[in-house]
Chains A and B, each alone.
Chain A
Amino acid sequence: TVGAVAVDVQGNIACATSTGGMINKMEGRVGDTPCIGCGGYADNQIGAVSPTGHGEAIMKIVLSRLILFHMEQGKSPKEASDMALAYMKERVSGLGGVVVVDPKGTWAARFSSQQMPWAAAQQEQLHYGMFHGE
């Protein structure tokens, strides 16, 4: 799975996610990616999310919208992501990761899986990582 979130100079926000799915999946299996609120969500008033991970777990907890619910209640993108990923792990034993932005341009790349390659560009700086703590 690959995904992106962005805020432009007008303050507009968008998300995109694309995937080949799960390895050796059943024919016709569809995961979270094309499901709004699960495989992505964007709202100028709150922020945007693009997730990856256990698709069925992401669908059960509606991960993208759950993160934005936490942000609506005042959590930062990082806090909201960690809360939602922890909930997904606890409730449905699902692992995954997300990239998130808010309307001010605050961003986060968080994951409960072992790895998630990510990169962010802002103010002429490129940030990137793959493992926890990077």
Chain B
Amino acid sequence: MLPVVVVHGGAGHVPKERAELSIAGMQEAARLGYAILKSGGTAMDAVVETVAMLENNPAFNAGRGSVLNLKGEVEMDALVMDGRTLACGAVSAVRRVANPIHLARLVMDKTSHVCLTAEGASQFARAMGIPEVPEESLITDYARKRWKDNLHKDANPVECQIGKMG
């Protein structure tokens, strides 16, 4: 079997000045995933570590660099699935975790559930020994600028989402 890894960095608009960063981040992540596969690592290890690298890269909207909600806060979602067993794990609306993808994998590996959300996901993270990080460490100047640009005093929370992609 010829190993392969394919990554994406989101379907939203990438401003010209961030395009090079974005492509470089994609290349770096694909190289990491491929190195894991070439050294005999599993597909699960490859996708999780690749996505964790992208979460740590502020050029992308996940982990550090996440877009902000209406209140200017970070709420993140993540999912993993293992094609061998159909095991899967997910977290939603999780806060103050550097790598939600690692938490999603722990949901898959350590619980009988598929998805943990919000405060329950945070409690699970603490129980698993995942350190809580300051919310500020996940927020970039670029994310804050976009949040402010899209924040209107009288904005309808539904209408202001129209046309935007996650």
Contacts and interface: CB of A to CB of B under 8 A. Distances in A.
A34 B92 contact: yes
Interface residues of B, number: 87
A126 B22 contact: no
Contacts of A31: 77, 166
B117 A16 contact: no
B43 A128 contact: no
Interface string A22-39: 111111111111111001
B42 to A, nearest CB: 5
Contact of A109 (B6, B77, B90): B6
Nearest to A134: B23
Chain A contact residues, majority secondary structure: strand
A18 B75 CA distance: 11
A93 to B, nearest CB: 10
Contact of A52 (B40, B42, B165): B165
Interface in A38-84: 39-45, 47-48, 50, 52-55
B91 interface: yes
B81 A52 contact: no
Contacts of B43: 6-8, 12-14
Please list the 4 inter-chain residue pairs (A to B) with the smallest Cβ-Cβ separation, ordered nearest first. A20-B66, A13-B83, A121-B34, A42-B83
Given A21-B166, A114-B13, 16 more contacts: A4-B5, A4-B51, A7-B4, A18-B54, A23-B67, A23-B164, A24-B150, A24-B155, A34-B104, A95-B165, A109-B8, A113-B12, A113-B165, A117-B14, A117-B22, A120-B7
